Structure 1
């Protein structure tokens, strides 16, 4: 550090700036989708890839970037991520075609994968006192909630005033400011014993995820029995099979397959995928519904989504306190029930739905998502030996992104119809949300039984042997 005094507050502010821009970007793009479709002549399938090129790449790289930062230096990887994110955002804003935009979104995700997990590592390394670290992480969580709340309204205002490109241009000056602050204030740090990189596992995971999501996106467009879709499905199956073999034989695997012997851990992964499938499908589909048959502008769409984000931000800490007092079961049951109820309200959505009905459904969904999110990580971490807490948290984050990608793929299967039929075509997606909410309720109960705790104890014995 060249003798320079570390200022933890400035380090935290810098890291939170990166979190703010990357988190808000995920929400901004959904509000801008109808404008992108109109401006670039994008099909429903291409709109899905605009979103999923980002989420897929993020999900694939989240685990690897943490290991890279531990090995090569957290500040170095963090700055690289900021540069990539800014450059890719500019490329997206300048995109003359949808294919260009999709490629830019994939590159943007490479940078984004170097931001959130690495920034959290920087904060943990900077705040060595446990109480101070807890307060810093609390600020970090609050910034995430604020970014999700501001994202819809900011995206709507920018899109209406300046076009969809403005959502990407916004990232550039914020990233430049964060790059300067990182160079000036963030100290370099590395892990004393970094994990080995697992390029084979990384590649196979990307093949599996891209195959699954690609088949779901392309199937409705070109036919489920078409050669490209069958090839994507086959690649996904082969990628998963080889991944399991490779990871079992690796000394330091990206994903230790033994983790899934713990019922609480496995349940947390399934819950994350289920609930974020609902969230991904909701954000993608509701933007098209609100700005299509329901007749709202982009700004009004953003404003309608803000109450959901506010309720989510308020219910999450309440759920966290409930988890601390009563365990994860009550929060998961309440959250899953909320997701199901919101899905039911949207499945019964009338074509001339009033604003109050939409707001009520969105806020119920906010309660559901807010209650489920905290116990996902808690269940994942509690489901593994303490020494594997970092891996559990990383895999929970990756599972969330996988869920969003699947949700967009499912929602996009009905997005190609005209506005007159879109409300009716959307109903099966919302009935799926009802079912996934009930799955969360069941898993919330099963993962907290004595049988589930027994599988966790057996895993403890396996790792301590």
Structure 2
């Protein structure tokens, strides 16, 4: 296999479970030079602004989807693609954008992603002027909207891994965990507030002015772009072989078809046509994966380093990231659980998401400081254990004896556990197992595995929601979420850091 090579700092640790080193790998001399406190603060500010701008639009469009589709005169079957197409392209392009950042530098890729995201937002907004007066124009406007969402997704998928890789490698070693915790908190704030911000904008300008929702990000995107031009270091491109174009295309096809198959299989109206489409997607994904593995063995600079699949620490990190993605998606069912348990009006259960938000946002910075002191393993194990307790409280107590105090207690425990588990520990783990020159690709890999968990989990959760009356029907779903926590926890017990050789 012609795998990509890089300069190894210090003695190379074995990439097997049995011989992995028991401590963090030494700093990579090929990484960026230590930044002054003031300069690193400016770098953090640029990346955090990008994370917030990109993260808001993960949930910002969902609450106004019906408004947009009504303006285009389409139904739910077509309108859901406003959300779906974003998720598909976001996940599909993550590894390719990460690889580009490692090849040509993080600054140009980050700036290009911000520019592409803003161009996509502007395209979405402009599509709104094409909704009248004729049906043909409305149809064309909807196509333009989907194109804009694709551009947004490709731009956004590069912001998170580039930001985490740059902050994780540029931060002083003794503050790396805290810095990664701040980035996780910024992403969490954006995701939690996204739906609320979207609803607030539409409430302020009126449903007929929904394009403002997309135009609103442009000033902030321009500020992030301008600050990035001035503040971010250019960095030196890594000398490598030719870009793995065929491998990149196959990677995109593989992930796209896999997630499209999951979407088709979990559709509410899944009949024979949907199942046949899902099967075709899975076959295509498997064929793409087989061809991808063959191409990567011959690539001079593979988009996915196959050595990762022989590294126990990296496999554990990827597996834990997958289960964390499954856990995170349980939050999408909390509003309807609250409505069923407390007999709330339809649509009001989302207020209880604020409980999760408040406690989960406190976790990343606190967890980051603990990582700097103790390492990521105990922090992540504790976070997964606390989250599991929260799910058990919701499933065994709140579902059986519904009350506001029990609901708040269960959600608070779950949110605190998720806050300690999301983002910082996994990103820290992947960065301590690879060279700095491969850091963005590596962060992209764990981001992708988390995204696959996010995409797969809804179908699993819905399958375990029984027909029981009221909240008690959600008990199996919470037990499955607790099981995901325990799976991640057991994987972490096998984790010992050691860079691949």
Which TM-score band applies after superposition, normalised by the shorter structure? Answer: 0.7 to 0.9
Alignment of 1:398 onto 2:448: yes
Separation in structure 2 between the aligned mates of residue 277 and residue 288 of structure 1, nearest angstrom = 18
Separation in structure 2 between the aligned mates of residue 109 and residue 147 of structure 1, nearest angstrom = 15
- What does the per-residue CA deviation read over 1:130-179, in whole Å, with 9 as the maximum and x for residues that have no partner? 67988876654554344345435433433444446554333223213333
**SS at 1:191's partner residue?**
coil
Separation in structure 2 between the aligned mates of residue 269 and residue 46 of structure 1, nearest angstrom = 33
Q: Which moved more, 1:344-353 or 1:195-204?
A: 344-353
Q: 2:355 aligns with which of 307, 310, 317?
A: 307
Partner residue in 1 for 2:306: 257
Bigger relative contact order, structure 1 or 2, given CA contacts below 8 A and separation 6+? 2
- What does the per-residue CA deviation read over 1:94-132, in whole Å, with 9 as the maximum and x for residues that have no partner? 45677665443222111113333344566689x697679
Equivalent residues, number: 441
Separation in structure 1 between the aligned mates of residue 270 and residue 472 of structure 2, nearest angstrom = 22
Separation in structure 1 between the aligned mates of residue 376 and residue 101 of structure 2, nearest angstrom = 32
Partner residue in 2 for 1:217: 263
Separation in structure 2 between the aligned mates of residue 346 and residue 44 of structure 1, nearest angstrom = 33
Alignment of 1:23 onto 2:55: yes
Separation in structure 1 between the aligned mates of residue 219 and residue 112 of structure 2, nearest angstrom = 16
**SS at 2:300's partner residue?**
coil
List runs of 5+ in structure 2 lacking aligned partners: 1-37, 132-138
Separation in structure 1 between the aligned mates of residue 234 and residue 406 of structure 2, nearest angstrom = 51
Alignment of 1:266 onto 2:315: yes
Partner residue in 2 for 1:3: none
Q: How far off its partner does 1:272 sit?
A: 0.8
Q: Is the 8 A contact 2:65 2:79 kept in 1?
A: no
- Structure 1 residues 147, 340: CA separation in 2 closer, same or farther (over 3 Å shift)? same
- Structure 1 residues 11, 334: CA separation in 2 closer, same or farther (over 3 Å shift)? closer
Q: 1:109 aligns with which of 144, 150, 153?
A: 153
Alignment of 1:380 onto 2:430: yes
Q: Is the 8 A contact 1:60 1:206 kept in 2?
A: yes
Partner residue in 1 for 2:25: none
- Alignment of structure 1 residues 78-97 onto 2, 5 Å: 78-93=110-125, 94=127
Q: 2:293 aligns with which of 244, 247, 250?
A: 244
Q: Is the 8 A contact 2:40 2:171 kept in 1?
A: no
- Structure 1 residues 25, 336: CA separation in 2 closer, same or farther (over 3 Å shift)? same
Q: CA RMSD in A?
A: 4.2
TM-score by length of 2: 0.72
TM-score by length of 1: 0.77
Separation in structure 1 between the aligned mates of residue 450 and residue 264 of structure 2, nearest angstrom = 22
- Structure 1 residues 11, 423: CA separation in 2 closer, same or farther (over 3 Å shift)? same
Q: How far off its partner does 1:231 sit?
A: 0.8
Return the structure number with greater helix share. Answer: 1
Q: Is the 8 A contact 1:80 1:114 kept in 2?
A: no
- Structure 1 residues 358, 92: CA separation in 2 closer, same or farther (over 3 Å shift)? farther
Q: How far off its partner does 1:427 sit?
A: 5.9
